Structure formats: C-alpha cells, structure tokens
Amino acid sequence: MSVKPTVFSPRPKKPVRRPLPAELPREVIEHDIPEQDKQCVCGCMKQRIGEEVTEQLEFIPAKLTVIAHVRPKYACNRCDEGVSIASMPQLFLPKSIATPSLVAHTIISKYQDHLPLYRQEHIWKRMGIEMPRNTVCGWIMAAAQVCMPMREALIKVSFAEDDVSRNTALARNLLPLTRTSGGLSHCQWIGIYQKSLSVSEILMQ
C-alpha cells in the first residue's frame, strides 16, 4: 500500500497596506449621520465614542504659472530728460522663459526619471505649451555652465578624501537636434564618483 506524501503549501500572505506619510497635507471630509439618528431608542442622545478613518492618496497634476516681471516707467511731463525704470533682477537664465524650477524639473525628468526630451516635449504639448526639445537642450547646457562653480567645489571635496568609489558605464547621448546632426547620437564612457556629501560640506570649501 503506497502512502502519498502530504504537501503543505504555504498560505499566501495577505497584503498589508502601509500608512500614508504623516507629513502629507490632508483634506478631511467628514461623513456624519443625521441628527435624528443620534438619538437612542431610550430617548437619550448618543455620544461620540470614536471614528473610522479611510485615507486615499490624491494626485494633483502639475500646474504651470507665468511669472511676469513688471517694471513701471516714469517720465516728466514738462521735459524730456529721460525715462526712469527699475533695473531688471538677475535671472537664472537671461533671455529665457525658463525659471529655475522648470529647468530643475526638466533635468530630473531626463537624468533621474529617464524621460527623454522628445517625450517631455509631447507632455508639454498636451498641456498647451510649445517647448521644442532643442530649446530645452539649450537650457540644460546653460544650467550646467551656471552650476559649474558647484561642480568644481564638489570635485575638490570628493578627491580630497580616500573613501571615493568610481563606476564606469557606457552611455548613449543624443546630439542637439540641428540641420546637420539630424538627431544623431554618440556613445561615451562616463565615470561616476560616489561619496556621501551634504550641501553644507560643499559650500564650506
């Protein structure tokens, strides 16, 4: 008489819903019962003894805002000595419509979220904004020049210590879209140096 072996299959684990971060802003919508339902059958009013909370995560799409720098002009009504106007504040990228937040969003989307510029161009077009990829590419290159002092300080701090690790990878980069390049790409080796640094440590150098 053959005895069949007993196979015990592990019970599937029930999914555990983790609580949402407490630092997120919350919009409280209270669903209360009517006043007549708060009266007990004995005639007394029921007291609130607790509550059940069901939380949902709401996504608010990105919102574009136009910042208009208005500089009033002043002139004399009797003579033509000249027009007085306030000086233009220093902008992150002069002669550009891009603010630092827009450039930072573009850079993070491209290099951190791996979202190419042509896809970002389609996303902006859905929002009603014409933002050609060659223009955005110019923003990224100009921002790199603005951030060059921070880069030099970071390199100085990184190579001053011994605990620096280096990874090398082959990356394919798209050339700026011009009449001559035609959207071609080129490959280059990129060395990534890793070291745990804070912004304060960089600025102190």
- Domain containing residue 196: 149-205
pLDDT value, residue 164: 60
Q: Which residues pair with 85 in a beta bridge?
A: 73
- The contacts found for 23-32 with CB under 8 angstroms, 24 or more apart, are 26/55, 27/58
Pairing of strands 73-74, 84-85: antiparallel
Contact 135, 102 (CB under 8 A): no
Domain shared by 176 and 131, yes or no: no
Amino acid of residue 88: M
Please list the rounded mean pLDDT of every run of 10 residues in the chain (205 residues).
65 79 93 92 91 91 90 87 89 90 93 92 92 92 89 78 62 59 60 54 45
**Is position 171 within any domain?**
yes
**Is position 168 within any domain?**
yes
Amino acid of residue 57: L
Amino acid of residue 197: L
**Is position 28 within any domain?**
no
Q: Closest Cα to residue 172, out of 159, 158, 183, 160?
A: 183
**Is position 54 within any domain?**
no
Domain shared by 96 and 136, yes or no: yes
pTM of the model: 0.64
Tell me the C-alpha distance between 78 and 144, whole Å.
49
Number of domains the chain contains: 2
Q: Closest Cα to residue 191, out of 164, 152, 153?
A: 164
Contact 132, 117 (CB under 8 A): no
Domain shared by 205 and 185, yes or no: yes
Phi/psi of residue 53, each to 5°? -115, 125
